[in-house]
Amino acid sequence: MRLVVGVDETTLKYVQYRLGEFSKRAPNAISNALNRGITNVGSNIRKEVRKEYHIKAGDVNATLTRHRANRGSLTATVESKGHLIGLDKFKVNPRTINPRRKTPLRVAVRKSGGNTVGGAFMAEVNGPKLFMRVKKSRLPIRRLFGPSVPQMLGREEIRDFVMNEGQNTFERRLEHEINRILEVGRRDK
């Protein structure tokens, strides 16, 4: 999943017009505002995904890659790449390993609910993980997985909110950067 905050030719011309005699600094102002906007997108991704899902911010952040804007490239992106996340990373109750447990484990991926997972058990394999038997026999077993972070970001309400907030931050910061360049230019005269 890739989220992009960019500018078009009309925005560049508008900034050059506003800066007047300092129009050569337009790419600087735009790239600074884009980078602030993309930083806001990254933090809002963590917040919004964690509002909906039982997941740690570090697990979300590990999937994010930021590409910052500069004078030559007036586009900033946040990209989320990742695999399915083990159900043990979400809310599991109880989390203890007990081979004689009779009651089924409860797993909640989303904050809006949770389900019992019949036949699932916790085992210590490089840390506690959630497994289920494939057949009636003892082996083989398979690990249980939930959605990946890019799938979570695929939800329309999360993606739209994050992009709107990023765009609003970009527009506010662009005005700030324009005013800052004009103010410094007036002082230097």
User: Which residue range forms the structural domain that includes residue 105?
Assistant: 87-143
Within a 10 A sphere around the Cβ of 75, how many other Cβ atoms?
15
pTM: 0.84
Residue 4, pLDDT score: 78
Tell me which of 128, 143, 158 is where a domain ends: 143
pLDDT tier for residue 166 given thresholds of 50, 70 and 90: very high
Residue 189, pLDDT score: 60
User: Do both 29 and 113 map to the same domain?
Assistant: no
Residue 109, pLDDT score: 94
The amino acid at 83: H
Average pLDDT for residues 121-125, to the nearest whole number?
90
Average pLDDT for residues 46-58, to the nearest whole number?
95
pLDDT above 90: residue 156: yes
User: Do both 156 and 138 map to the same domain?
Assistant: no
User: Do both 34 and 74 map to the same domain?
Assistant: yes
Tell me if the bond preceding 150 is cis, omega within 30° of 0.
no
User: Do both 105 and 16 map to the same domain?
Assistant: no
Q: What percentage of the chain carries pLDDT values higher than 90?
A: 63
User: Do both 70 and 155 map to the same domain?
Assistant: yes
Q: What percentage of the chain carries pLDDT values higher than 70?
A: 99
User: Do both 51 and 21 map to the same domain?
Assistant: yes
User: Do both 60 and 138 map to the same domain?
Assistant: no
Number of domains observed in the structure of the chain: 2
pLDDT for 58-97, tens place per residue? Answer: 999 999 999 999 988 889 999 999 999 999 999 999 888 8
User: Do both 79 and 93 map to the same domain?
Assistant: no
User: Do both 20 and 68 map to the same domain?
Assistant: yes
36, 103 Cβ separation under 8 angstroms? no
C-alpha triplet 11, 17, 20: angle, nearest 5°: 140
User: Do both 92 and 72 map to the same domain?
Assistant: no
